[in-house]
Amino acid sequence: MLGRLDTIHAISGVPKIKDNYNPSTWMLEVTSTSMETQLGVDFAQVYRNSSMYKDKDELIRRLSIPPLGTSNLNFPTRYPQKFWEQFKACLWKQNLSYWRTPSYNLVRIIFITVSCIAFGVLFWQQGNIDSINDQQGLFTILGCMYGTTLFAGINNCQSVMPFISIERSVVYRERFAGMYSPWAYSFAQVAMEIPYVFVQILLFMFIAYPMIGYAWEPTKFFWFFYTMFCTLLYFLYLGMMMVSITPNIQVASILASMFYTIQNLMSGFIVPAPQIPKWWLWLYYTSPMSWTLNLFFTTQFGYEDDKKIEVFGETTSIAAFVRDYFGFRHDLLPLAAIVLSAFPIVFATLFGYSISKLNFQRR
């Protein structure tokens, strides 16, 4: 600094630095464009012609030549920690973020609680097998399954999108700084949702399930829990994926709405599978809701061969009606369970891949 001060002091017309004055501030003031115009001096050229410049240039040249026997620095990864440590750090960070965001987590817990009570009151004991005597009674309880699942799933999908949209902006900055890999963040984000969905399912199973009158049989209870858990998970991961593949939340919401419409039409409830044209069946089989309803209907009523009901003027068993009218077969239960569990995995993987490969940040 003293060398630069002496060099500038030597120029005619440059005001002297005052006592106890910040040298950096003084340098900025006297080398400004207005001062150059006033003095008719190019300070950059003055410095370039000075001995200080030549000394620094020579020092840089010498330091840029590596000593004999040395090699270039090489790091196997740009991240300071291994993947597992990155994942734990991201999980800890997400845990704090979720705990400090009651507008997201507390609201959805309250929402599912109120929804369970509302559906429980509306369909009070309609799920009791003894109360189903005709197709209308069966349609009522099947519609209850369809409505509660779609209602809770869409709410999860819509509520997660604003949260992920905000988090994505933070991820862009921290990823650029090399704090953690996108996959570590994605896995942590996906894992963080599981306990909250688990709480939602517990609330449903201990509030709405007995109020609606579903059977307290271990097998039926387990399959209902499993189906509801996978369904709410894939709706959540769907919302996360929609945000990750779109530039903003508005576009993500539009795409999600299109998905809801397709789910509604091709779930196999409004238009049963046997009535869907053959050229649209691929959409039915790729619809997550169709596999959800397949598990719901077949595990709850798919093997009720002893219970007879009046269906369109004919007497048939509930199991036969579910199989013949909706096309949901109980013998495909293992396949349906595997396919349903694959949807959350696929959506979560696409979310992680999109976060790692796509960047909608504009600078």
- The 10s digit of each residue's pLDDT in 109-141 is 999 999 999 988 988 888 777 777 777 778 888
Asked if 98 and 199 touch (Cβ cutoff 8 Å), the reply is no
Q: What is the DSSP letter of 181?
A: -
Exposure string (b/e) for 331-358, b if CB count within 10 Å is 16 or more?
eebeebbebbeebbeebbebbbbbbeee
- Rounded to whole angstroms, the Cα distance separating 142 from 269 reads 8
- Rounded to whole angstroms, the Cα distance separating 151 from 350 reads 24
The model's confidence at residue 352, banded by pLDDT at 50, 70 and 90, is very high
- Segment 28-46 shows an average pLDDT of 80
* pLDDT value for 101: 87
Highest-pLDDT range among 65-69, 208-212, 233-237: 233-237
Helix (H) or strand (E) holding 314: strand 314-317
C-beta neighbour count of 135 within 10 angstroms: 19
- Rounded to whole angstroms, the Cα distance separating 190 from 233 reads 9
Cβ neighbors of 58 (< 8 A, separation 6 or more) are none
Residue 75 has pLDDT above 70, yes or no: no
What is the value of pTM for the model shown?
A: 0.76
Task: Please return the burial class of 150, using the count of CB atoms within 10 Å of its CB with bins 0-12, 13-18 and 19+.
Answer: buried
